[in-house]
């Protein structure tokens, strides 16, 4: 069976560099057998891939792609704290979606992250999740994702 890196390659993706913090925090912290990521924004090559609010200029499809990029960035942050991604279990994912008050599709947007974790980690990518609509996110990002991962022995 292929490991997480091979599964990413099959999807045409690779682990990016860890996104540097936009303020005073670490991208990820390991505590015992858990890794906690900071909120990951949809950054690619040093810039947000989209800005704005979902349902007000940002489509659900673009937001879903943003959630996937956030998840990919979270994988990079987790990888910076562990020796082997094959030993990672995704436990909890929180997806924040900056959206107008009438938009209620936050769970569908969050699927961009959840489905990537499932594709990359298989059964170990099945997780608990919250999808939360918020009025604004840092740098006017449409989506932010944070993750709790367990390192298995």
Residues 77-128: tens digit of each pLDDT: 999 999 999 999 999 999 999 999 999 999 999 999 999 999 999 999 999 9
Rounded Cα–Cα distance for residues 17 and 124 (Å): 23
The pTM (predicted TM-score) of the whole model is: 0.97
Is 54 within 8 Å of 64 (Cβ atoms)?
no
Q: At 132, is the secondary structure helix, strand, or coil?
A: strand
Rounded Cα–Cα distance for residues 14 and 17 (Å): 10
User: Dihedral of CA 21/112/8/151: which sign?
Assistant: positive
**CATH architecture of structural domain 4-8+28-151:** 2-Layer Sandwich (3.30)
Give the angle 126-132-136 at the CA atoms, nearest 5°.
135
């Amino acid at each position: 069976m292929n490991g997480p890196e091979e599964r990413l390659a099959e999807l045409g993706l690779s682990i990016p560099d860890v996104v540097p913090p936009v303020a005073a925090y670490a991208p990820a912290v390991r505590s015992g057998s858990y890794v906690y990521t900071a909120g990951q924004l949809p950054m690619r090559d040093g810039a947000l891939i989209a800005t704005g609010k979902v349902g007000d200029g940002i489509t659900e499809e673009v937001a879903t792609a943003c959630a996937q990029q956030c998840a990919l960035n979270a994988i990079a942050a987790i990888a910076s704290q562990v020796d082997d991604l094959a030993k990672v279990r995704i436990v909890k994912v929180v997806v924040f979606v900056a959206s107008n008050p009438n938009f209620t599709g936050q769970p569908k947007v969050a699927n961009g992250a959840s489905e990537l974790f499932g594709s990359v980690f298989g059964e170990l990518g099945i997780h608990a999740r919250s999808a939360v609509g918020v009025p604004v996110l840092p740098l006017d990002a449409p989506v932010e994702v944070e993750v709790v991962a367990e390192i298995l022995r």
